[in-house]
Amino acid sequence: MSTPTILLIEDEQHIAEGLIFNLEAEGYRVLWAQSGEKGLERLQQEEITLLVLDLMLPGISGYEVCRRLRVGNPRLPVLILSARAEERDRVKGLKLGADDYLVKPFSLDEFLLRVRGMLKRAQWYQDREVNELVFGGNRIDLRQGTATTARGELTLTEQELKLLRVFAEQPEKILSRGELLQLAWGMDPATETRTLDNFVVRLRRYFETDPAEPRHFLTVRGRGYRFKKQPTDKPSR
Ligand code: CA
């Protein structure tokens, strides 16, 4: 893996300097932008591996940066730094496509650990990247996030795509709910699991001939889910 380039968008100089110093000590190449506008410019010009993004910025907010960058760059890992610990801020950030979230003040060790983890995950995806998934009369373009199904064309959300990629990369394998939460969305495996189940229901609705009798996105009782490209003979719930 070549040297990762980290873009830091942070307006507070003393925070930025501390982070840059430590990231460079870890061997990363670091670019610094003091506003969202400047950061978005750098993203156009440079090959960035990971974005570290402050929320409270002088011009456009970190949320807006996240929203704009996701339009053309759905997979860049984004770590949000925020002075606010409120749950709704966290949720808003994650909804806009941030992958992880740290509340200021945070420890440097924690920060570096998150960065390392996110880069590892990004590499994991890259190594196993599958760009197209074809099964059961469906053709899914995992890059564009579009699908052609028996019911017509549809555009997938980033969360749906992330989950689909994990299934696509490990067909036939039984994946526990915890593994899916972690691999797809970088969430704590211990998180309550209804969200995941709801997403699987959605995938069945999009891609199964009979969503009530799934033959591709299978439930494995007590263990998790399994994706099969070739449908099983017997439908299973
Ligand atoms: Ca700030």
Q: Which residues surround ligand 1, an ion (CB under 5 A)?
A: 11, 54, 56
User: Phi/psi at 204 (nearest 5 deg)?
Assistant: -65, -40
CA 60 – ligand 1 centroid, Å: 11
Q: Give, rounded to a whole angstrom, the gap between the first and last alpha carbons of the chain.
A: 41
What is the average pLDDT score of the chain?
89
* Full DSSP string of 103-127: ESS--HHHHHHHHHHHHHHHHHHHH
pLDDT tens for each residue of 199-215: 999 999 999 999 999 99
The DSSP call for residue 57 is -
Distance 85 CA to ligand 1 centre (A): 14
Count of H-run helices and E-run strands, the chain: 8, 12
Encode pLDDT of 97-137 as tens digits.
788 889 988 999 999 999 999 998 888 767 766 788 999 99
Please report, rounded to a whole number, the percentage of residues in the chain having pLDDT higher than 90: 62
Ligand 1 centroid – CA 185 distance (Å): 26
CB 209 within 8 A of CB 136: yes
Residue 134 φ/ψ, nearest 5 degrees: -125, 125
Q: What is the pLDDT of residue 134?
A: 92
Q: How far is the CA of 62 from the centre of ligand 1 (A)?
A: 9
Percentage of the chain with pLDDT > 70?
93
Which residue matches tokens 């992880």? 100
Q: How far is the CA of 91 from the centre of ligand 1 (A)?
A: 19
Quote the DSSP letter at residue 27: T
Strands (E), 24-71: 29-33, 50-54
pTM as predicted: 0.58
Going from the Cα of 12 to the center of ligand 1, the distance in angstroms, rounded, reads 6
Nearest of 181, 184, 207 to residue 192 by alpha carbon = 181
CA 118 – ligand 1 centroid, Å = 22
